[in-house]
Structure 1
Amino acid sequence: MSTAARPVLVVAEQLDATADMVVDQLNLRDVPVMRFDVAQFPQQLTLTGNHLPTEPGWSGVIDDGRRAVRLEEVRAVYWRRPARPLIADTVPQPYNLWAQNQADAAMLNVLAALPGVPWINNPHADRVASHKPQQLVASTRCGLRVPYSLITNSPDAARAFAKEAGGPLICKPILGGRLDVGDDRQLMVATHRVDAADFDDSISITAHYFQEDIPKAFEVRLIAVGGQVFGGKLITTSEAAGTDWRTDYQHIEYDTVDVPGRVATGVRRFLAHYGIVFGAFDFAVTPEGEWVFFENNPAGTWGWVENRTGLPIAAAHADYLAGAQL
């Protein structure tokens, strides 16, 4: 099969506008696409994988009933937050969960074993790259400035940190940021300012992630993909948005910003360190113009950045998946 005819797998939820943007760009390049959600497997989707001892990888078919793609012909995989497999309701617990885990592992691990296939991003690498404490170490080694930080469950250590920091502090989640509160509702645990005078024994209940509160001229959602970097500028106009822009979208003004060469180099080194090609990075830019790295989400959102700024992020995804990086 010619390179031009090899398909890209787009693995995403059915109603994902960001994935739609990438598919549109792949269509403009006449690159064949098979899009599916892992939630379709195994009830609407069939996976058949074969591995012979003499072959370098897996062969077989993914078939959704309308079209089929041979595993050995897959050009690239765009793994964009798919849902988990859905097992038939007729299978009782605990077997239903066991079957779901089997299906999940089969789909991901067979695709991950395809030799030489580029990914945005392989979830195995994403899991490691999403650990915030490790990100601070990696980003420092890559030449990026990070905030002074503390993770502790000790009230005394928190008070000592506040004294040493000598200025305003924030507290943020270490892992995720949403709570399931029932009735299919979620509550976001946002970054918030804290006062050391209020520190008490409740800090010992669990680990807390404290940082110095970086003064901001503006913030940047920096999208890196396939070696390209795009700076989406966020100018916040309320205290809530200035602390965590996700809490007050009504008070954000959007623009673009050129990414300094030193920052772009650090970001590329960061991605290479984790073996990934995509990241949604959050930076603050101080009034003095210094870029400060907060964190990277290796499966972060970016559709809103392109829609607000016109930055060609979907096109960069399509270029990478189509093979322009080779």
Structure 2
Amino acid sequence: IEDPAARGVITGEAYAIRAFCQLDVLRLFGQMPQGASRQVELPYSETTSIDEMPAYYSFDDYVVKLESDLSKAESLLKDNDPLFQYTFSELNSANGNELSDSYMYYRQSRMNYWAVKAIQARMYLYLGKKDKAYTLAKEIIEAKGADGELVMTMSGETDIAKGYKACPSECLLYLSKYDVKTYSSVFLIGNKADQQAGSSHLVISSSMLSDLYAGQNTGSHNRYLNCWNRNVKDASANLYGALAKYYFADDAENQMLYYQIIPLLRMSEVYLIAMETSSDLDEINEWYHDYMLAHSVVLNEVGFSSLSEVPGKMLNEYRREFYGEGQMFYTYKRTGATTMLWGNGNADENVYIVPLPETEYNPNSQIK
């Protein structure tokens, strides 16, 4: 690639994508981030060769690798990412002729500069480095774009009104998959034969939905009212007595772009990180009012009367906001929660440290 800016963007994306994936390896298979009694070494892959086994690292050394990759990504994308000259909305179409390289468009669905910042905030929150997580989240919330306006705000109220239930307009990174409805029907819902065989699917009962939204104003809450399919049917058109989050359009026109996405990073998570890590109650309440307004809920009272109330409320918001998006297990793990909503028994390291696959070389197991 001759253009140094394009080379910087692509190389920065590569470092960030690697860190994004390796962070999830750490969160899933790694030891507890706080007060671990079991130490776990994990592989950090830095090669594309299938013949070269990646080195395994201790928790701290692994984190150094993550920080290095994200730092490189941030440096390479800084100034090179077209987001510094154009807004997300301007780059969400390649119809214009201003950019000579069409690859530089669609930055919102690619690993852009602000997505890297959000990954860093997610990582530091998981590691318990709240000061760093706060600084990053606040920077994203207050960041101004090329037009002088905020780079991104939460979009729930406007997106959901349009039928965009996954809130694409507030995504800092997402995947677009035109046939996601087909896959979601199979993997999230299954069929009645599966249910009778005891298979567990990502559907919930009406009482479980009530558990999720306990204490919320569900009369106007746009997620509660619009983002749950209350007529879940299996492949044989049999009706379940269950609900599934997000339901996708059937007609071809609405299967395009914003209807069929998989969110990976959203502004709602950035706001939750900021609120959880801030020590300024007035600031937290201001953000919480904005957050709830994006959910079509107007607060007529102060959100929190003390900082001690915030962690529990944030935990509940993670449950509601990211149901089915692969976030809750990591939230329980980083907070060291001993119980999980709808869980059986106490959660401990045996629950939170997922064993490496049997086909994976495992230096943590003792050779007898």
Q: TM-score range by the shorter chain?
A: under 0.3
TM superposition score normalised by structure 1: 0.25
TM superposition score normalised by structure 2: 0.23
Query: Could you say which structure has the higher helix fraction?
Result: 2
Query: Could you say which structure has the higher strand fraction?
Result: 1
